[in-house]
Structure 1
Amino acid sequence: MMNRTPVNPWNWSLNLGYNQGEIIEGSTRHLIVSGQTSVDTEGAPQHVGDMRAQIDLSLNNLEAVLKSAGMDLGNIIRLGVFATDVDEALKNFDLFGMRFGPIQCSPPMTLLGVTRLAIPDLLFEIEATAAA
């Protein structure tokens, strides 16, 4: 059984929904998830110009990959987030709270502003590491 111990020398990040670090013990499987974006099952960009909808679909796609590996959001031990407009992304981070809050999971996270993503119409991308 995997055990998670939060490491927070200060508490400000908890208000934003993530731990500064976590000690992970007892995991036997790791899943590295590539960047998930707002694309359909054929890889076509969706929700052009709509950051909120792109974040939502990116999270749906992340959950689909996790499910295919027999995992869920509670297995995530690290998130990497990339946005072409950090301020607009942060306005919509309640979407993270709605998904991670109920399961009381606050994985360490990094949010980076980028000039563009691999496909120009995409505004948001999320990658993850999960363990079970």
Structure 2
Amino acid sequence: MHEVIYTKHAPEPIGPYSQAILAGNTLYVSGQIPINPETTQLIKSSIEEETHQVMKNIAAILKEAGADFSNVVKCGIFVKDMGDFAKVNEVYGQYFLDNPPARETVEVSALPKNVNVEISCIAYIA
């Protein structure tokens, strides 16, 4: 059994997927891009602002599932330019102050809506 997790405080899915799925005690959060859920507009001002919006979207989904960043055990980061890695990493690190999760960061040729960063995660719900 699994449960679809949905919140209006994160962007609407732009395809046939859920914001997150809770399967047992494991929460799978779909890749989030820098869309402001209140305005539905893309944030494209800087890679730092894009990354903050992505992390805010993830936070809203985690909260809906009764979790927060301390529950995250794995993240996947996808960037269009590995030259942005240090800036993305700086912002990302602000959300994981203690015991950061496992993760990978991968440069890709394109992302949905031509954004510069997308992040997904897996969390454990106790």
Query: Structure 2 length normalisation: TM-score?
Result: 0.74
| Cα distance in 2, alignment partners of residues 42 and 84 from structure 1 | 25
Question: What residue in structure 2 maps to residue 7 of structure 1?
Answer: none
Q: Which runs of 4+ in 1 moved over 4 A?
A: none
CA RMSD across the alignment: 1.7
Q: Is 1:111 the counterpart of 2:105 in the alignment?
A: yes
Query: Percent of aligned pairs with the same residue?
Result: 25
- Aligned pair count? 102
Q: Is 1:57 the counterpart of 2:53 in the alignment?
A: yes
Relative contact order, higher structure (CA 8 A, sep 6+): 1
Q: Is 1:68 the counterpart of 2:61 in the alignment?
A: no
| Cα distance in 1, alignment partners of residues 66 and 123 from structure 2 | 11
The answer for unaligned runs of 5 or more in structure 1 is 1-27
The answer for unaligned runs of 5 or more in structure 2 is 1-23
| Cα distance in 1, alignment partners of residues 109 and 46 from structure 2 | 17
Q: 2:90 aligns with which of 75, 88, 94?
A: 94
Query: Structure 1 length normalisation: TM-score?
Result: 0.71
Cα deviations across residues 66-94 of structure 1 (Å, max 9, x unaligned)? 00000000000100000001121323312
